[in-house]
A and B are shown apart, each in its own frame.
Chain A
């Protein structure tokens, strides 16, 4: 392995480390706190197919 290759390996390792850190940070900031209820009842409500909508008073 030439010194150029060793330098490249170091740079790629650093890039991957930065990437994983940023991905973790993005997940931590924007994904981890988000919780969306996706039960079948909630989905029925989302698409407007609830019993409430079937001729009953809202």
Chain B
């Protein structure tokens, strides 16, 4: 059996590095499309302020891109070192979208990032706009491939286990590409990135307006961010609903856990707004519930039930017992691949193999599992409810807070003078970290809610980790934390420095805080 501390440390290391990495990603996703919007207006109107906006916000995007690029590499390191069994088991499928992300999307994005910065004087206006557009497409394609890989972890379609190679093998590449989980997560995640980009531009523009500097530049930036942010915040909520629906279809465990739905309820189930969760007794001590809402959102019907945790545990118990037979048959097949009885037994029970493997956490020989160990495995098949319940509610709360901000700021931009009200500008400024908090909570809900699996229903987390020493893991964890913290400090230093300098850093002669305007004429 794998030592629990090894599993916990490997999980912690992946979570820490992924969450650090995801500080950079959503801003890149959002800023690229905002730059497309700003530059499109410049090409259409020929107003130079929009070119300045594209160049200045592009500069902040460039700082984020330069510091964020390759920060995902440590995650790839970990697939090899900390998750070697996972990589063997599912690498043939999981590795393909990751390779495509690097070869197709990242190279496309990086090439056009270079052209974006160095092409202003070498390309025509339309050509440069095309470059900016392709840069945005590249960034979003990158997210698509990553989320196809992640979507497969949540809902492993189009693949089958081969007992001879001990690997999952691809049977239907289209099913993997068009996995509903991947598609729903992609649109939801990139929309969250657009909200992050909009919140960033809105907050910094609000700060210029509060300071009464670079007013035309700040007003126009504020308006674009408010409009783009409103569309994105609406999208993120609507697409989040779609993502929730696909979770309800493919990952009933996650749905039941994040709704703290311990017992069966007649359809349509009510939505708990808040609850006093008592995990020890598998119940809520108290709850405030809105009737019908969960059933309507989760099933889009009035007569379909949402499985409760109790119901899911019963179902999982049956699958674990069937999974024991699958493990037995697999062992026999490993000894004699031509054993016809084992082949038949494996065919009958292979869908539950993963559930049988849940027992390996508690017993060396799955076949020897006692009823008490089966019950332990059943209990472990549900993620912890309290963190899921509250993380989800905080994410949704932040999303609605952002929607409110963008509704009010967009409304304020419809009439001259409204968007300079200090309370509104202060609100926009203080909301700056909120999109990142929502994004990180979203990742937490998606990944923590998948536990105890790395590949949902197929491969338990505790069997995916490599047999490393905890000392080695603690050393690399400390190294990764140091590495990312340094990058974050540099990012914050440069972002704050250039946000303070503002468009004056372009040296055009049109803004406050102008440096020595070397080559200013050529940029005008």
Is A46 a contact of B463 with CB atoms below 8 Å?
Answer: yes
Closest CB in chain A relative to B373 CB, distance in Å: 13
Is B475 a contact of A30 with CB atoms below 8 Å?
Answer: yes
Q: CB-CB < 8 A to A18: which residues of B?
A: 486
Chain A facing B: main interface SS: helix
What CA separation (Å) do A1 and B506 show in the bound complex? 8
Closest CB in chain A relative to B458 CB, distance in Å: 11
Is B67 a contact of A49 with CB atoms below 8 Å?
Answer: no
Interface assignment of B472: CB less than 8 Å from any CB of chain A: yes
Question: Of B357, B468, B498, which contacts A47 at CB under 8 A?
Answer: B357
Q: CB-CB < 8 A to B74: which residues of A?
A: 23, 26
Interface assignment of B63: CB less than 8 Å from any CB of chain A: yes
What CA separation (Å) do A36 and B467 show in the bound complex? 7
Is A31 a contact of B77 with CB atoms below 8 Å?
Answer: yes
Is B89 a contact of A49 with CB atoms below 8 Å?
Answer: no
Q: CB-CB < 8 A to B81: which residues of A?
A: 30-31, 34, 36
Q: CB-CB < 8 A to B147: which residues of A?
A: none
Interface assignment of B238: CB less than 8 Å from any CB of chain A: no
Is B84 a contact of A30 with CB atoms below 8 Å?
Answer: no
Q: Could you say which of B201-209, B364-372, B377-385, B429-437 contacts chain A?
A: B364-372
Closest to A34 in B: B81
Question: Of A23, A34, A36, A49, which contacts B330 at CB under 8 A?
Answer: A49
Is B479 a contact of A43 with CB atoms below 8 Å?
Answer: no
A interface footprint on B347-383 (CB within 8 Å = 1, 0 otherwise):
0000000000100100011110000000000000000
Number of contacting residues on B, CB 8 A? 60
Is B360 a contact of A40 with CB atoms below 8 Å?
Answer: no
Is B84 a contact of A36 with CB atoms below 8 Å?
Answer: yes
Interface assignment of B288: CB less than 8 Å from any CB of chain A: no
Closest to B77 in A: A31
Check A54/B331 contact, CB under 8 A, given A3-B515, A48-B365: yes
Is B335 a contact of A51 with CB atoms below 8 Å?
Answer: yes
Is B334 a contact of A44 with CB atoms below 8 Å?
Answer: yes
Closest CB in chain A relative to B350 CB, distance in Å: 12
Q: CB-CB < 8 A to B63: which residues of A?
A: 8, 12
Check A26/B479 contact, CB under 8 A, given A2-B505, A43-B166: yes
Is A38 a contact of B88 with CB atoms below 8 Å?
Answer: yes
Closest CB in chain A relative to B312 CB, distance in Å: 23
Is B475 a contact of A50 with CB atoms below 8 Å?
Answer: no
Within 8 A of B (CB), among A1-41: 1-5, 8, 11-12, 15-16, 18-20, 22-23, 25-27, 29-31, 34, 36, 38, 40
Question: Of A4, A25, A46, which contacts B505 at CB under 8 A?
Answer: A4
Question: Of B164, B327, B472, B507, which contacts A48 at CB under 8 A?
Answer: B327
What CA separation (Å) do A27 and B73 show in the bound complex? 10
Within 8 A of A (CB), among B294-341: 327-328, 330-332, 334-335
Check A54/B328 contact, CB under 8 A, given A15-B490, A22-B486, A38-B84: yes
What CA separation (Å) do A26 and B74 show in the bound complex? 9
What CA separation (Å) do A42 and B522 show in the bound complex? 65
Is B62 a contact of A23 with CB atoms below 8 Å?
Answer: no
Q: CB-CB < 8 A to A27: which residues of B?
A: 77
What CA separation (Å) do A51 and B336 show in the bound complex? 9
What CA separation (Å) do A36 and B181 show in the bound complex? 31
Q: CB-CB < 8 A to A5: which residues of B?
A: 59, 505, 507
Closest CB in chain B relative to A46 CB, distance in Å: 5
Q: Which 8 A-B pairs have the closest CB atoms?
A: A51-B335, A2-B507, A36-B84, A30-B476, A54-B331, A38-B88, A40-B166, A49-B330
Q: A residues touching B (Cβ–Cβ < 8 Å)?
A: 1-5, 8, 11-12, 15-16, 18-20, 22-23, 25-27, 29-31, 34, 36, 38, 40, 43-44, 46-51, 53-54
Cross-chain pairs A/B with CB under 8 angstroms, 21 sampled:
A1-B518, A2-B519, A2-B520, A5-B505, A5-B507, A15-B67, A15-B487, A16-B66, A16-B69, A19-B483, A20-B70, A31-B77, A34-B81, A36-B466, A36-B467, A38-B85, A43-B88, A48-B327, A49-B330, A50-B334, A53-B366
